[in-house]
Structure 1
Amino acid sequence: MRRLPFLLSPDSDAEFPPGGQALADPDGLLAIGGDLTPPRLLNAYRHGIFPWPSDGYPLLWWCPDPRTVFRTDGVRLSSRFRRGLRRCDWTVRADTAFEAVMSACAQAPRPGQDGTWISDEMLQAYAEMHRLGHAHSVEVYDGEELAGGIYGIAIGRMFYGESMFSGRSGGSKVALAALAHCLHRWGWPLLDAQVENPHLLSLGAISLPRELFLARAGELAAQPGFAPGSWTARFGEMRAAQLAEPPPAPSPAAPQRRPD
């Protein structure tokens, strides 16, 4: 008999089943139902689980095997792209246009996909997570126009990436590299990218067995990070041209830094 995914309790504080119990077909489907309230979302991400809705179905929750991640010192930009960045006048900031980044991600074309999983319900839920200081975006600006962006959830010293977009050619690469640059400087070693695709692999993403990912991400999520809140001042303003250089060594004090 084919095993069915776990049916979540209507209680937003109820625990998820262990990620290792996710189905192999479809790969990573763990649970159905529930809601997108902040307690439920924080509980899910803390355990390496994320929502990925699909039209016509109850809310679906996933924990795929293997898991695609970036080492924050391992984002790979081609030599040609780095040469172009040296002449680039784009700037990069954080948490200055979260909802605009999410909306742009929802509208971005995805090869092999019709529509988007970033529904109005998802937009509203993650906007609330941003208001509470758990969801963050990195924005790439060409003047005052968005050239690219990325957003995700921060828990402890773990960042769970959700989606990114390019408004100009290369904008998403700059957003990803800038986010990884700062996470590495802060002593956050991993950036979750969820599911493998050729574009992510070309940028240096690697695959971890689910068991290893869940153990490592769980450790990092349980470590002291930053208090919930805006990253605008913490991130500062970065010139995209800075990303033409290799990433910096992490600060020795970063893993022990107390939340602000």
Structure 2
Amino acid sequence: MESVDWRAKLGAERFGSDFEYTHFFVRDAGRNGLLGYTEELTPHLVFSAYLQGIFPWYDESSGDPVLWWSPDPRFVLPVNEIRFPRSAVKFLKHSPYTYTIDAAFFRVIENCAHVYRAGQDGTWIGNRMIDIYCALHERGIAHSIEAWHGDELAGGLYGVLIGKVFCGESMFTRESNAGKSAFMLFVKAFEKCGGVLIDSQVYTENIARYGGRNISRSAFLRMESELLPQKLSGDLRKVFTEIAAETVYASRPRTESAS
């Protein structure tokens, strides 16, 4: 892997010259992926972790310390291997929703924290995590995608974007297919801008349906060291907005003109 210089450079670009890069020893991660814990949780620390293929994941409500993870294997979704089901593609062609990017980050992450999901009895997204990711959003590191039904937020997702890697954190849906269709549009825009990899971190059934697969930790870290310093070839917000507008236009019912 490369020296720490490019990581410090990326941090300085986002946080300024006072960025404090923290080096983690990924080789110390246990078989389950747990690397260690800290009492501290700051935007600088979280960004440093993402630059090394590490992420925080813990139960804030239990009073546990912040746990840091680097799973082996790592569950990823290479953009050029994504295959959406026909039913999902068909839905998007007639979607009742409008879509935006970075229009309601706080509302998206709050919904991700509180909307019930089958098979889950709680959430890892506590107030502390929300504050951290909102701070990363303010620095252009974390992004949200929203699906709207009129003025109501019907679904969405958020994650961390560094270079050509998007680390998907969480998704929610209040209405049918809202979150999934928002993700599909994001993938289109991300790929058009030169995005290469979506990091799902651990296995999820939904991402597996789209082509997600496990790779070794060492392979993932090699990919990250190559992709994180690279910049997207397009303006993600602009490209997403254009694709979303085209989708909304295409899904509108057509009326015959009077002869």
Picking from 12, 22, 27, the partner of 1:14 is 22
Query: Is the CA contact (8 Å cut-off) linking 1:89 and 1:239 kept in structure 2?
Result: no
Check 1:60–1:104 CA distance in 2 against 1; reply closer, same or farther (3 A cut).
same
Task: Compute the RMSD of aligned alpha carbons.
Answer: 2.5
Aligned to 2:43: 38
Change (3 A) 1:175 1:74: farther
1:174-193 to structure 2, matched below 5 A, reads: 174-193=181-200
Q: Residue 167 of structure 2 corresponds to which residue in structure 1? A: 160
Q: Deviations over 1:210-259 (max 9, x none)?
A: 110111022111223489xx96445325348849x9xxxxxxxxxxxxxx
- Counterpart residue identity of residue 45, structure 1: Y
CA distance in 2, matches of 1:146, 1:31: 37
Structure 1 stretch 133-142 or stretch 66-75: which is displaced more? 66-75
Which residue of the partner structure matches residue 92 of structure 1?
99
Query: What secondary structure, in the 3-state scheme, does the structure 2 residue paired with 1:73 have?
Result: helix
Contact 1:94/1:231, CA 8 A, preserved across alignment: no
Query: 1:88 deviation in Å?
Result: 1.7
Q: Relative to 1, partners in 2 of residues 1:154 and 1:64: Cα closer, same or farther, differing over 3 Å?
A: same
Of Structure 1 and Structure 2, the greater helix share is in 2
**Is 2:149 the counterpart of 1:142?**
yes
- Structure 2 gaps, min length 5: 1-18, 251-259
TM-score by length of 2: 0.80
Asked if the contact 1:48/1:218 (under 8 Å) is kept, the reply is no
The aligned amino acid for 1:31 is G
List per-residue Cα deviations over 1:87-143 (Å, max 9, x = no partner): 223222110000111011101223433211000000111111111111111111222
Give the Cα–Cα distance (whole angstroms) in 2 for the partners of residues 240 and 113 of structure 1.
34
Q: How does 1:104-115 map to 2 (within 5 A)?
A: 104-115=111-122
Moved more, 106-115 or 122-131: 106-115
User: How many residues get paired?
Assistant: 229
- Going from structure 1 to structure 2, the CA distance change for 1:219 and 1:40 (only over 3 Å counts) comes to same
Q: TM-score, structure 1 length as denominator?
A: 0.80
1:148 Cα deviation from its structure 2 partner: 1.4
Contact 2:163-2:231 at 8 Å conserved across structures: yes
Structure 1: where are the runs of 5+ without partners?
A: 1-10, 246-260
- Give the drift of 1:168: 1.0
Higher gyration radius (CA): 2
Report if aligned partners of 2:189, 2:236 keep a CA contact under 8 Å in 1.
no
Q: Is the Cα contact below 8 Å between 1:174 and 1:240 reproduced in 2? A: no
Identity across matched positions, percent: 37
Partner of 2:139: 132
Alignment match, 2:80: 73
- What one-letter code is carried by the residue in structure 2 that aligns with 1:235? F
Could you tell me how far apart the structure 2 residues matched to 1:153 and 1:202 are? 22
Q: Distance in 1 between matches of 2:216 and 2:94?
A: 39
1:194 maps to what in 2? 201
Decide whether the 8 Å contact of 2:189 with 2:239 is kept in 1.
no
| 1:171 has 2:172 as partner | no
Q: Say which is worse superposed, 76-85 or 91-100, in terms of deviation.
A: 76-85
Cα distance 1:178–1:165, how it changes in 2: closer, same or farther (>3 A)? Answer: same
Please tell me whether residue 82 in structure 1 is matched to residue 89 in structure 2. yes
SS of structure 1 residue aligned to 2:80? coil
Counterpart residue identity of residue 196, structure 1 = Y
Alpha-carbon distance between aligned partners in 1 of 2:164 and 2:76, rounded to the nearest angstrom: 14
Q: What's the counterpart of residue 236 of structure 1?
A: 241
Q: Does 1:217 align with 2:228?
A: no
1:194 is displaced (CA, Å) by 0.8
Q: Distance in 2 between matches of 1:50 and 1:240?
A: 33
State the AA in 2 paired with 1:130: H
**Which shifted more, 47-56 or 31-40?**
31-40
**Contact (CA 8 Å) 1:75, 1:177: kept in 2 or not?**
no
